[in-house]
Structure 1
Amino acid sequence: MLRLTLPRVLVALVAVLLLTYAFAVAPRTADRWGGGVGADVAATTRPSVSPPTPPREPELFPPAGKAFIGVMTHEGPYNFKAVDEFTKAAKRQPQVMLFSADWASGRFDRSLFDRISDRGMMPMLAWEPWDYRIDEKARKQGLRLREIDEIRSDQPTYRLARIASGDLDDYVLSWAEGIKSLGYPVALRFGHEMNGDWYPWSEATNGNRAGDYVKAWRHVHDLFRTAGATNVTWVWSPNVQWDESTPPLESLYPGDAYVDWLGLSGYYGTGYFSDYRNFDEIFGDTIEELRTFSERPLVITETAAADDNGRKVEWIKETFRLLPKHRDIIGVIWFEVDKELDWRIVSSRASATAFAQAVAAPRYDLRWSPEMVPRGEVDD
């Protein structure tokens, strides 16, 4: 029989205390302070939590320091043959395509926009409140240009006051809902060249009055905003000023709250600009006037050169030498149409070569995608 002695009793008590600590006290202490074997196991099995990824800044179109090349053809998105010929001649994929629709026969057709977008181009719609068939009929009669202007500009159905008062709201809203449904950016060039007298939306024609254009623009803009069509880039696009008879552009400007891009139409080889004038001589004074009341980015929404004086190639080369100094110009749209005069770059091999060499510059090397956000400010 084991005999109990004091030393043996003390050893037994110490052993009991050590076992109690190992199995009862130590695990709770480890859990409390995050140490020990239990904590190590938990650390290896507990899922890690990554910090939230900050949202990516949207890519601007065009990016800083870049300018897009655009094209407008006679057939528009109904037939891309002319676009393909332009692209081949320019050796540059255009990033914007301008096409037109009138209010008399034009109904929203998603496929037209999708055809452009699917080719990597941002659609820009020249939206024209008139019946263009009146213009076509007058042209077939072989009338002089000024006679055609007088006939086509007289269309009371599309008087500016009727637009502003809401008489055509159902039609406007049908397009607003349609464009909203696209889900990607679209540029809308409403009632362009309003400072001339050849369209029924000019204040100088069709029974319109001073101030009517701004009222009509703001009304159409507000209808789109009410419909939730926030994917629209609004392009206000007068013609370049040609003499002192044209109205001050500020009187026709709806305001920066209603406009995203400024646009300008200007050509070498017709009318007041039949004699040779370089880009700055055609556009310079009007750009200076625009900058007295708006700093919005500028797009040359229509331009081209004719070759009646044999200087088309020279004009193309000089234009693209001058453009880079205009940091506020974010895009140039070429009017690739043979109408009255042959404005196309494919009109001659020399013209195509000059254009291709010009747009080969890194300034025009960019892309458009539906995820991009149209630039709203001029580069710093």
Structure 2
Amino acid sequence: MKKIIYRLILVLGAIAIGVALVSGLAFFGDKSTGPVQDFFNSLNKSVHNLEGDYILKRRTVSRAQRLSWLAPALRNVDSLKNIKGILLGAYDNRSDISLQPIVDLEDSLKTTFPLIQIYTAWGSKREQKFPIEKVRSISALGSIPVITWEPWLNDFTEGENSDLTATQDPNKNGLKRIVDGKYDNYLRQWAIEARNSGVTLLLRMGHEMNDPYRYPWGPQNNEPSDFVAAWKHVVELFRREKATNIVWVWAPHLAYGEFDAFYPGSDWVDWTGTGTLNYGTVAPWSQWWTFEEIFGNHYPSLEAFKKPILISEFGSLAVGGDRSKWYADAFRGFEEKYPSVKGLMFFHHGNDASTTYQSLNWQITSDPAVLDSIRSNLFRLK
């Protein structure tokens, strides 16, 4: 009974703090600074601390203890270069609020994820600053944070774009602006806070840069050489700030090729990465593709860079085929076929509207056949 009351107090306390946080932010607006912002940052920290304590204490065997073998990699980037086996992980869109959905997914699959992914964009908003509390929460659970960092340059509302007129799009030739140092103050703050976090971070910056349709940092707005120059500029700035705990993940889109044109070079990239998502027949441009067709056919091109490979978005929709079989086929002979793959992350998004006009559900926890298929094949990745 005491445990139940204690948990109830924790939950109610977190809810109360969260309500105060949201109300305060709404009242003071996006640009509040100084003591007011510090106060609400402190409240935010308290919510994350309560969340971390609750998740850890409610489990018979601590999640962090189960990942104790990963501890050297949490504090030493070099240890990831010789990592054994494959690091599993996930992104869940609901984990923007709480990491509990990630833990629930782990429980469904009867595993523990060494990697937990979050997404954030460049910009002036609070949520676009370095996500220190989320990073601390992830590392407290014993996992390595993976941050997909998207350079949406139009999200800056302050001095970074003050030289542009109202009609100018900062994303047009935006990578040149990065090289010219227009965003260095923002980048420097990120580098300092990343360094001070004290944990290893996988940073997937400007992913799918070779896709000419989806993201503004793609070739519709920039030359491949601009991307290479911008990548080097950011990495060099982080190095100057001694942010040596960063694993830089270069992640092109498999379908659009031209990898060499966008590759910054071996000295500037630590891991390569890519998404592997089967959209099935959900749209006129898609069809039911196997994992082999999506990823396997392009694997030699990625392997040629001689870097560890991260499959950063892994999943299949249920439209157009048997996705329990899709997962089983993907895992069959995986390590023998793809020895350079060192990370695989489930894309567990329940409301994905980033590619089609309709909302797509990549979640698997409500599909017993898929869960059984994955659970029975995960041992192949040990």
Structure 1 length-normalised TM: 0.69
Q: Indicate the SS of the match to 2:276.
A: strand
1:183-210 Cα offsets, whole Å, 9 max, x none, are: 12111110001111211111223xx223
1:15-73 Cα offsets, whole Å, 9 max, x none, are: xxxxxxxxxxxxxxxxxxxxxxxxxxxxxxxxxxxxxxxxx997934865410111011
2:217 maps to which residue? 201
Distance in 1, Cα, partners of 2:115 & 2:284: 28
2:196 maps to which residue? 181
Matched, 1:165 2:177: no
Output the aligned Cα RMSD.
2.5
Matched, 1:328 2:340: yes
1:346 and 1:158, CA in 2 relative to 1: closer, same or farther beyond 3 A?
farther
1:132-188 Cα offsets, whole Å, 9 max, x none, are: 989xxxxxxxxxxxxxxxxxxx65388111111110000001000000001121111
Shift in Å at residue 327 of structure 1? 0.8
Instruction: Tell me the amino acid that sits aligned with residue 250 of structure 1.
Output: D
2:131 maps to which residue? 109
1:1-380 maps to which residues of 2 (within 5 A)? 60-61=79-80, 65-104=84-123, 105=125, 106-130=128-152, 155-156=170-171, 159-196=174-211, 197-205=213-221, 208-241=222-255, 246-270=256-280, 274-292=286-304, 294-325=305-336, 326-338=338-350, 339=352, 340-361=359-380, 363-364=381-382
Q: Indicate the SS of the match to 1:200.
A: coil
Maintained 8 Å contact 1:92/1:360 = no
Q: Indicate the SS of the match to 2:306.
A: coil
Distance in 2, Cα, partners of 1:158 & 1:127: 19
Maintained 8 Å contact 1:269/1:306 = yes
Distance in 1, Cα, partners of 2:184 & 2:204: 18
Distance in 1, Cα, partners of 2:334 & 2:374: 13
Structure 2 length-normalised TM: 0.69
Shift in Å at residue 273 of structure 1? 8.0
Shift in Å at residue 276 of structure 1? 2.8
Maintained 8 Å contact 2:153/2:174 = no
Extract unaligned runs of 5+ from structure 2: 1-71, 157-168, 353-358
Maintained 8 Å contact 2:288/2:321 = no
Q: Indicate the SS of the match to 2:253.
A: coil
Distance in 2, Cα, partners of 1:273 & 1:71: 26
Shift in Å at residue 342 of structure 1? 1.7
1:199 and 1:155, CA in 2 relative to 1: closer, same or farther beyond 3 A?
farther
Distance in 1, Cα, partners of 2:272 & 2:180: 25
Maintained 8 Å contact 1:99/1:124 = yes
Higher relative contact order (CA 8 A, sep 6+): 1
* Structure possessing the higher radius of gyration over alpha carbons: 1
Deviating runs (4+, > 6 A) in structure 1?
Answer: 56-59, 131-134
Shift in Å at residue 288 of structure 1? 1.8
1:251-301 Cα offsets, whole Å, 9 max, x none, are: 000011000000011211256884333222111232222234x11111111
Distance in 2, Cα, partners of 1:267 & 1:273: 14
Higher mean alpha-carbon deviation, 271-280 vs 261-270, is at 271-280
Maintained 8 Å contact 2:202/2:248 = yes
Q: Indicate the SS of the match to 1:213.
A: helix
State how many pairs are aligned.
Answer: 282
Instruction: Tell me the amino acid that sits aligned with residue 112 of structure 1.
Output: K
Distance in 2, Cα, partners of 1:158 & 1:108: 25
Q: Indicate the SS of the match to 1:342.
A: coil
Instruction: Tell me the amino acid that sits aligned with residue 303 of structure 1.
Output: F
Extract unaligned runs of 5+ from structure 1: 1-55, 135-153, 365-380
Shift in Å at residue 238 of structure 1? 1.1
Maintained 8 Å contact 1:337/1:344 = yes
Instruction: Tell me the amino acid that sits aligned with residue 192 of structure 2.
Output: E
Maintained 8 Å contact 1:273/1:282 = no
Instruction: Tell me the amino acid that sits aligned with residue 305 of structure 1.
Output: S
Shift in Å at residue 309 of structure 1? 1.8
1:187 and 1:65, CA in 2 relative to 1: closer, same or farther beyond 3 A?
closer
1:182 and 1:129, CA in 2 relative to 1: closer, same or farther beyond 3 A?
same
Maintained 8 Å contact 2:192/2:243 = yes
1:225 and 1:62, CA in 2 relative to 1: closer, same or farther beyond 3 A?
closer
